């Protein structure tokens, strides 16, 4: 099974983003997704910067896929989307049917992102006919769902599963980071840049629950399916996705790249925020199922 690095969901400075991907380039990771998937108001990195990063990573032997915006509301966002889809060099991850539309029009193959709501085999087969080469399993689905969907014909298209990192849970018109700072979205001053891992949100009993990242809401806990990698591989999953959270990812990538070490990996059970793995085991996503630790 290959490792992939999902798109960066946070708004980091251009410098921090370049430093991160320069470090990524030195790892053994197979595939890197690049692009702004959350908010078109974030302009730290522009299209040409992403292409520069893409070339930097490609030169180091990585496969690069350009990710596209998840919530598309305006004509200008569609123009930018079309530019990315028709870039002519790199594959794309479609995170909205608008991207699928542009890709099919131009007969360009695409990776179906986690928010296209492909919840059964028939839907995946329709997308496959339209040019889908791979799909990212919707986050809330389980290994049982995947087994059933891949049964009989696991190789028609590739499957990727989010295996490590904070889980994107929702997208809104409202920017929760700006709201927290009593700013309207139109004058947000890109306040989300102050939160490189989002705003940790806890219940009134100090239970970490969510992470507010601009218009996106994420899980407070990281999903951790490292100890499920051989099971995934046996089911026909071809990519294990890590969602970027910081330079600490680099050590993690190297650790998981060493398959034997990965098998011995333990879940993080200590500290304030425990990992979670509920979705994979068909439980509430926030759950940590300890019975499956091998």
Partner 1 sequence: MELLCPAGNLASLKAAFNAGADAVYLGLKDDTNARSFAGLNFSAAQIKQASQLAKQQNRKLFLTLNTFAKPGHENRWQQAIDLAAELNLDAVICADISLLDYASRTYPGLALHLSVQASATNVAALSFYKQQFNIERAVLPRVLSVKQVKDLAKISPVDLEVFAFGSLCIMAEGRCQLSSYVTGQSPNTGGSCSPANHVRWQDVGTDKLTRLNEVLIDKSSQDEQLGYPVVCKGRYQTNDEMTPEYMLESPTSLNTISLIPELAQAGIRSLKIEGRQRSPAYVTQVTQVWRQAIDSYRQSPETFENTLKRQPQWHSALNKVSEGQVTTLGAYERQWQ
Q: Which residue has the tokens 């799909």?
A: 135
Given a contact cutoff of 8 angstroms between Cβ atoms, the answer to whether 109 and 132 are in contact is yes
Residue 39 labeled ligand binder: yes
Confirm whether residue 11 is marked as ligand binding: no
Burial of 290 (0-12, 13-18, 19+ CB in 10 A): exposed
Nearer to partner 1 by C-beta: 150 or 253?
150
Judged by CB, which is closer to partner 1: 244, or 285?
Answer: 285
Site for partner 1 in 102-131 (CB under 8 A): 102, 104, 115, 117-123, 126-127
- Helices 47-59 and 75-85: angle between axes, nearest 10 degrees: 20
Closest-CA residue to 66 (of 156, 6, 142): 6
Least spacing, CB of residue 202 vs partner 1, in Å: 5
Residue 140 Cβ vs partner 1, minimum distance, rounded to whole Å: 4
Spatial distance between the Cα atoms of 294 and 287, rounded to a whole number of angstroms: 17
Stretch that binds partner 1, among 154-162, 198-206, 230-238, 248-256 (CB under 8 A): 198-206
Cβ-defined contacts of 172-176 (< 8 Å, 24+): 172/215, 172/216, 172/217, 173/71, 173/73, 173/215, 174/215, 175/39, 175/214, 175/215, 176/212, 176/214, 176/215, 176/217
The residue (of 151 and 251) whose beta carbon lies closer to partner 1 is: 151
State whether residue 29 is helix, strand or coil.
Answer: coil
Residue bearing tokens 């999953």: 237
Minimum Å distance from CB 201 to partner 1? Answer: 5
Q: How far is the CB of 126 from partner 1 (least distance, A)?
A: 5
Q: Which of 76, 87, 82, 75 is nearest to 50 (CA)?
A: 87
Residue from 40, 58, 60, 101 in contact with partner 1 (CB under 8 A):
101
Candidates 15-23, 132-140, 236-244, 262-270; binding stretch for partner 1 (CB under 8 A): 132-140
Question: Candidates 48-56, 64-72, 241-249, 254-262 — which segment interacts with partner 1 by CB under 8 A?
Answer: 64-72
Write out the binding residues for partner 1, residues 204-263 only, by CB under 8 A.
204-207, 209-210, 212, 217, 219
> Contact, 53 vs 25, CB < 8 A?
no
Residue 273 found at the interface with partner 1 (CB under 8 A)? no
Taking residues 152 to 191 in sequence order and writing x for each that binds partner 1 by CB under 8 A, - otherwise, the string is ---------------x-xxxxxxxx--xx---xxx-----
Q: Which residue has the tokens 């050590």?
A: 251
For 201, the 3-state DSSP assignment is strand
Query: Would you give the DSSP letter of residue 36?
Result: -
Binding-site residue ranges for [4Fe-4S] cluster: 39, 175, 188, 192
Binding site for partner 1 (CB under 8 A): 70-75, 77-78, 81, 96-102, 104, 115, 117-123, 126-127, 138-141, 145, 148-149, 167, 169-176, 179-180, 184-186, 199-207, 209-210, 212, 217, 219, 278-279, 282-286
Binding-site residue ranges: 39, 175, 188, 192
């Amino acid at each position: 099974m290959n490792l992939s690095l999902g798109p960066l969901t946070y708004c980091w400075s251009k410098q921090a983003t370049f430093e991160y991907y320069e470090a990524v380039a030195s790892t053994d990771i197979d595939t890197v997704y690049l692009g702004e998937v959350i908010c078109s108001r974030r302009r730290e990195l522009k299209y040409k910067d992403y292409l520069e990063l893409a070339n930097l990573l490609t030169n180091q032997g990585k496969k690069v896929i350009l990710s596209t915006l998840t919530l598309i509301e305006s004509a200008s966002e569609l123009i930018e989307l079309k530019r990315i889809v028709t870039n002519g060099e790199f594959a794309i991850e479609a995170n909205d049917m608008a991207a699928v539309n542009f890709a099919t029009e131009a007969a360009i193959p695409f990776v179906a992102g986690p928010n296209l709501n492909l919840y059964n085999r028939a839907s995946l087969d329709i997308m496959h006919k339209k040019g889908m080469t791979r799909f990212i399993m919707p986050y809330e689905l389980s290994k049982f769902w995947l087994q059933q969907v891949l049964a009989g014909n696991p190789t028609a298209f590739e499957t990727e599963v989010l295996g490590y990192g904070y889980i994107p849970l929702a997208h809104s018109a409202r920017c929760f980071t700006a709201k927290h700072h009593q700013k309207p979205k139109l004058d947000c001053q890109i306040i989300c840049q102050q939160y490189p891992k989002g705003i940790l949100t806890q219940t009134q009993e100090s239970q970490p629950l969510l992470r507010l990242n601009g218009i996106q809401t994420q899980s407070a806990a990281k999903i951790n399916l490292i100890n499920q990698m051989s099971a995934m591989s046996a089911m026909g999953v071809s990519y294990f996705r890590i969602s970027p959270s910081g330079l600490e990812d680099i050590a993690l990538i190297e650790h998981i790249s060493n398959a034997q070490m990965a098998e011995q990996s333990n879940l993080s059970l200590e500290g304030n925020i425990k990992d979670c793995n509920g979705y994979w085991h068909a439980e509430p996503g926030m759950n940590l199922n300890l019975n499956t630790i091998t």
